[in-house]
Structure 1
């Protein structure tokens, strides 16, 4: 049985990822600030560990507890993060620090903690974004954080490959999670505070190749694949799950 760690794994996309790995027969450690009760619902093969992943000291404590529980870590899914739009003139140092610490710094320090308990065959999967490959208006800080995630992904793939540890990123386009819905209701977001459903329907119609947006389950299934032996030759890749918004 493999041990999978999912940061931000208690709600939204993270919860879907947690459930997908659990359904595949794995032991899953959920690392998050708040306990949604998901681990208790899933049973003995799941456990909640409290940590604010923007704080390296809390990461160290949580991962030490995970190792005591499971004995090792086989897969780390760096999912914790959030979205937010701000035009240049409104960006504050606080906004920058919160976004970078949550979306980017956490990736490095959770990876550092997990790799200490990984052996050959281990894998790290970073949840990035299509915003990590192209910039967009009022989104410079979020894009900077996700471009950074892709850079860390490629660098750690080279650094850890000799130890038999693979590192990849998944880059979704819009997923209709509660967090994204909240962010897209802001007047500085692409919806400009307008109707969210209409905006996403028009985006899917005009920007994707398939005419639809990806689902959380499709992203979770991609993560399960990337963690599997079937993906044994895949590392250092930042894979779009975007229904053809940005063919590469």
Structure 2
């Protein structure tokens, strides 16, 4: 999807929005109008953006051969070329889930082009030092993250190691695929017992999401060269959403 700023008061900054699993471009449909036409929603026309929302290879309508070898680093290169072909020399990058890694690599690989990156979730924390040196709040966060990984992170381990094992069965069974995706939305259930799984947006996500390629994408990410995966951050503004780990102790 490519939506230009409705009535820009000057040159509009382009934003490339990167989704993750289990998703497609549909993830960002609610915010496109807010970003391209802020004046229509009580905002400042100077804040209007051009918005580009590509489907990740293998997700939604954009299918890719598993032999393509596109991990998040590779997708970042494709997005950079996409922005060049659209005529954008400099742009901002936004991403969640796997898209968070793509936006990170855009910032690392193309710092002269990316004016800033907004990452909605950067993965579970990694700390090699002594936890005793951390504050009580930081130690609690690590403990909660470990609990979450043990109780909710099995799908990630499957994606990073044996993605095709689940993919064949889920692709063959619409009910199985729906259950696989809906289970990830279960924490969004309301007090009345309803869940985001029953909303039109989630149903659209289910019908536009492929399983094998997104899972294989995680496998490729896990085997990315360490020297390119683990490196200092880019010298440009980077914002990371700090969301509270779900309380699974209750």
Say which one has the larger Rg: 2
Alignment TM-score, normalising by the size of structure 2 = 0.35
Alignment TM-score, normalising by the size of structure 1 = 0.35
Q: Which structure exhibits the higher relative contact order, with contacts defined as CA atoms closer than 8 Å and separated by 6 or more residues? A: 2
